[in-house]
């Protein structure tokens, strides 16, 4: 019997040229309603700083409004960039969300700074007098201890018991696109979300490493992997390729050090006429049947039963329609989108 494939959304809240960040955030809430209605399982919002293309700087602030207007979706961070924050503060924030929306909150954790800009990174630093310490492992261990409980006599012993959302708590995930993140997730017995849209070339060996090194924990008996994939669906292959031109142009500009709002399709087509369109990322593109088959193949290659889909378009309606078409494409196949 074929294992059902769960689909979810990883939303970066893209800002379109001619629009605003405020509208991008409202679009995220609207897209979450669509995902909830169409049977998607999970909806994660990203954390990016200091750029004019993505409005998702604060997943902890966006999760609540999304959870409030949906009923079935698991809602979470994809992810919180832990090096910027106190582990206790992050735990408290997600405890509040879990108390308000029990059984629906995910706490996805990342180790990067979420920005390509040195000035923004400096502004985000906890201590500007010294280089930021590379202490992600210690931060992660501390955060998990607040969720699991601390030993008697520990300085922070009382804190887990007084988290505001108790007895509810978020489900922690480790995000990554490297072997190091896979090893941390495995050794701590955490579920692991791999960013194929960041590192498509070496992903399968990293997923295998996670499974090989996995140590069962009190929260997870067996390894659990989801994979985030860039995907755009339209009525046919040509329409999808045309819509993807906006993301291709944005990626090329970003590689050259220029980050700007997502350009319109016509602007992008003119730009790409003089450029090789390769973005360095896997882009699953096409009509419904083609996208369904390629996503199924990606899931099979990774040995996972869950994918998160990332999509950037200039027009919000095109992005929303993409997720609708993908959901419809999977439903008649015998697979399920939620459950």
At 233-256, the pLDDT tens digits run 999 999 999 999 999 999 989 888
The stretches in the chain having pLDDT less than 70 are 1-3, 114-116, 276-280, 332-339
The highest-level CATH class for domain 6-241+281-333 is alpha beta
* Nearest CA-CA partner of 17 in 323, 333, 314, 292: 314
Distance CA 157, CA 315 (A): 50
Bridge partners of 74, per DSSP, are: 42
User: Is the overall model pTM greater than 0.75, yes or no?
Assistant: yes
Tokens representing 168?
């509810």
Residue 152 belongs to what H/E stretch? none
| CA dist list (Å): 108 to 255, 294, 312 | 26, 26, 21
Q: Is the dihedral of CA 45, 226, 246, 35 positive or negative?
A: negative
CB atoms within 10 A of CB 100: 16
Distance CA 73, CA 67 (A): 8
Q: 146: which residues sit within 8 A by CB, 6+ positions away? A: 87, 88, 91, 156, 159, 160, 163
- pLDDT recorded at residue 210: 98
Distance CA 145, CA 40 (A): 31
Distance CA 135, CA 124 (A): 16
Tokens representing 180?
């190091």
């Amino acid at each position: 019997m074929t294992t059902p494939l769960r689909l979810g959304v990883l939303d970066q809240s893209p800002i379109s040229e001619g629009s605003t960040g405020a509208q991008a955030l409202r679009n995220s809430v609207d897209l979450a309603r669509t995902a909830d209605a169409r049977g998607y399982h999970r909806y994660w919002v990203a954390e990016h700083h200091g750029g004019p293309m993505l409005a998702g700087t604060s997943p902890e602030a966006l999760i609540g409004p999304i959870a409030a207007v949906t009923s079935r979706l698991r809602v979470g961070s994809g992810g919180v960039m832990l090096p910027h924050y106190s582990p206790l503060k992050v735990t408290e924030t997600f405890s509040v969300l879990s108390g308000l929306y029990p059984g629906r909150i995910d706490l996805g954790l990342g180790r990067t700074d979420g920005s390509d800009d040195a000035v923004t990174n400096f502004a985000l630093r906890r201590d500007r007098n010294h280089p930021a310490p590379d202490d992600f492992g210690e931060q992660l261990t501390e955060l998990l201890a607040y969720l699991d409980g601390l030993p008697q006599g520990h300085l922070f012993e009382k804190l887990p018991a007084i988290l505001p959302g108790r007895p509810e708590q978020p489900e922690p995930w480790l995000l990554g696109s490297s072997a190091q993140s896979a090893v941390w997730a495995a050794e701590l017995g955490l579920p692991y979300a791999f960013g194929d849209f960041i590192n498509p070339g070496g992903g399968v060996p990293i997923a295998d490493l996670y499974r090989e090194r996995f140590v069962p924990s009190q929260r997870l008996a067996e390894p659990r992997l989801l994979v985030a994939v860039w995907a755009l669906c339209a009525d046919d292959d040509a329409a999808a390729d045309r819509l993807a031109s906006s993301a291709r142009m944005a990626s090329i500009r970003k590689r050259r050090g220029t980050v700007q709002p997502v350009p319109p399709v016509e602007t992008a087509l003119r730009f790409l006429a003089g450029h090789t369109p390769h973005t360095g990322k896997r882009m699953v593109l096409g009509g419904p049947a083609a996208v369904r088959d390629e996503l199924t193949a990606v899931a099979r290659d990774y040995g996972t039963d869950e994918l998160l889909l990332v999509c950037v378009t200039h027009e919000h309606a095109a992005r929303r329609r993409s997720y609708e078409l993908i959901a419809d494409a999977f439903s008649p196949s015998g697979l399920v989108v939620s459950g």
